[in-house]
Amino acid sequence: LIHRLLQLLPDIAPAERAAGAQALLAREADLIDAQRSDMTAAALSVLEDARFAEVFGPGSRAEVAVAGTATALPEGLRISGRIDRLVVLPERVLVVDFKTNRPSPDRIEDADPAYLRQMALYAAVLSDIFPGRRIEAAIVWTDGPKLMPVPENLWVQTLADLRRDG
């Protein structure tokens, strides 16, 4: 549900986001008021944090489907996924995934390896789609909240490991 809030609320005027979140969560009969409040607070804390302005700013897109292969992937490997947030700029592309794990890790190296593989796969495919643009990957942890870049050397090494093992 926090993912859904982060998908929908950026398109609502900032002054109306809390009411929008409450309206969306009111439809969830299994939630108690404290859960609704916690989820609203988590989503709004991300959206109101200046560090995330670019991720949710003009030109950013939510829930972008991505499928295919890439030159950096092991031969025969095809992916199909949904990018939580994508920002395409003239010189670079930012791919972001939301994670609600609690507690969130303090260092990207301590993140679940599956998350690092996911970001590496997205980065590889986007590198082929947007040649000549720098690809930046990041995870937004709603616990904190934290914007945690996935350094290029880390996702490149993850791809190399996939090619070696795959």
How would you label 52-73 residue by residue, b for 16+ Cβ within 10 Å and e otherwise? bebbbeeebebebebeebbebb
Q: What is the pLDDT of residues 78-124, one digit of tens each?
A: 999 999 999 999 999 999 998 988 888 999 999 999 999 999 999 99
Residue 146: pLDDT band (50, 70, 90) is confident
Whether the predicted pLDDT of 144 surpasses 80: no
Does the reported pTM lie above 0.85? no
Buried/exposed code over 36-45 (b: 16+ C-beta within 10 A; e: otherwise): beebbebbbe
